[in-house]
Each structure stands twice: as C-alpha cells, then as structure tokens.
Structure 1
Amino acid sequence: MPVIKAEDILEGETALRQWAGLARAAAVQAHTSSERLTIAPRLGRRQMAMAVRYALYMLQLRAPGPGVEVRVAPFAAVKVLDGPKSDPHNLTPPDVIELEPAVWLRLACGITRWDEEREAGHISAMGERDNLSRFLPLPVD
C-alpha cells in the first residue's frame, strides 16, 4: 500500500508547504538551536497527516528500497534504502527509525539537522543505516 494515495499527492504537497512556511517563520524568530528544536506549527489532523505522508513519499523517491523502516506515528511508515528485506515471519526490517510528526517535518523542511534532533533524543533509530541526513532536507519550495 502506498504511503499516500495518488489523488492525495497535491493535498499533501500543499500541506507540507503550509507547514514549512509556518515553521520557517518561527525559525526566523528562534535565536538558539534549542528553540528551533521546539518548532511545531499546528495544522488540522488531516493536513498534518498529508504533510507527513507527502514528505515520506518524497523520501521514498530519493531513497528507494526495503532495508529501513521509517515510522512517523500515528500517520505513516515507509521502507527506504537498499538492504535486507523484512524477515517473512517478522515484517519489521532490521533497521528502524521512529520520529514524531513535528520532528520529521522539521528535518524534511530543513528547520533542524539530523544530528541536532538525534542529540536532543528526538530520534529513535537502530541498525546500521540509522541516519537519513544525506537525504534531508527534502525539496519543499
């Protein structure tokens, strides 16, 4: 099942741009990296879901593969990057990354960097391929 339905892609792109605009405006006001780590513009639940799903869709396009599962609960999860597929008895791949929606969107939009969020304890990652920094930020303009 795709992370976002084809008919929802435009809505997802619009929601991500809206979130990014609000976050970038807040980032201008942030004077420290710790302030940027708390940026979390509020959209309606559907708009947040669409923004997250669209950003995950963009990640899949940049880093296709079955080796790492990226989970952004409660909205979506995708598999990306080359590597071993899931064990047929356990559908979770050996590498898993879990993020909160605001954390994922901050990274996707370039508000914060992977190492900042990881050091702040906002990223739960295990496995050899537990760093997506080379794919971020996503093109959100």
Structure 2
Amino acid sequence: MPRPAKPLDASDLRRAVQLLDDGEVLDRAETARLVRAVCAELAGRHPGGSIEVRVPPFAAVQLALDDAGRHRRGTPPNVVECSPEVMLRLAAGSLTWLDALATHQVRASGTRSDLAGVFPLIG
C-alpha cells in the first residue's frame, strides 16, 4: 500500500524550481517527494476519475475538472503525461500549460485533458 504524500510545501517547491532554473539536478528522493505532493494536491482539489495524470516514474493520479463522471475500467480516455521537472515547473507557475503543450513538454490526449485552469498550484 502506498504511503500518503506529505502536504505540498510552497517554499520547498519554489526552491526546487529555482534550482532547476539554475541548471541544477534535483536529488531523486526530493524530486519524488515533491512530485507526489503535487499530485496529491491535484487529486485533493479535483477529485474524480476522468483524467489520469502521469509523472513517471514517481506518480500517477486520477482527477476530474467537471461533472463528466468517473471512468470505471482501465485507463481513462483522458491522459496527461510529463516529466517530474515539468510537473514541478507547472505547479510553481514558472511554466504555463500552453507553453508546455507548445514545446511538447506535456503529452495530453482526450477531450478533457486540458489542465490550463489547474496550474499554478501556488501563488
């Protein structure tokens, strides 16, 4: 059974994204912790099962942005996937959803996979 993620700490996220922006490589354990916290925050804010957000190798979470109902079997038809670094930048607001899509840093499929209104998670 997976451990529950620790709550998202905005200052930790900002610090990590600043390191990424400075060209640093984040520690794997710290990256995993932050990505899991971001995904848990997403799921908490948007509970549901119509969109699957994948951040390999650290996390995957299902959420919903509307009342489309819960997908019941297999992979939901709406899938979003990105790298851990991109997820952290989206959550912190240093990368916009539209820029991530335009530069192919995010793969999004399905009619409900637009997460533009979700990010950033911190102010």
One-letter amino acid of the counterpart of residue 45, structure 2: R
> Which aligned runs of 4 or more in structure 1 are off by greater than 6 angstroms?
none
**Alpha carbons 2:48, 2:69 under 8 Å: kept:** no
Q: Distance in 2 between matches of 1:25 and 1:107?
A: 15
Matches within 5 A, 1:117-132: 117-132=100-115
Q: Distance in 1 between matches of 2:51 and 2:16?
A: 30
Q: Percent identity?
A: 33
Structure 1 residues 128, 43: CA separation in 2 closer, same or farther (over 3 Å shift)? same
Aligned residues: 121
- TM-score relative to the length of structure 2: 0.83
Q: Out of 5, 9, 18, which is 2:6 matched to?
A: 9
Structure 2: tracts of 5 or more residues without a match: none
1:112-138 deviations in whole A, cap 9, x for unaligned?
A: 100001000111110011111111100
Alpha-carbon RMSD across the aligned residues, in angstroms, is 2.4
| Aligned residue in 1 for 2:85 | 102
- TM-score relative to the length of structure 1: 0.74
1:84 deviation in Å? Answer: 4.3
1:64-84 deviations in whole A, cap 9, x for unaligned?
A: 111000000000100000434
Structure 1: tracts of 5 or more residues without a match: 28-38
1:50 deviation in Å? Answer: 0.6
One-letter amino acid of the counterpart of residue 44, structure 1: D
One-letter amino acid of the counterpart of residue 103, structure 1: V
Q: Distance in 1 between matches of 2:19 and 2:44?
A: 27
- Higher helix content, 1 or 2: 1
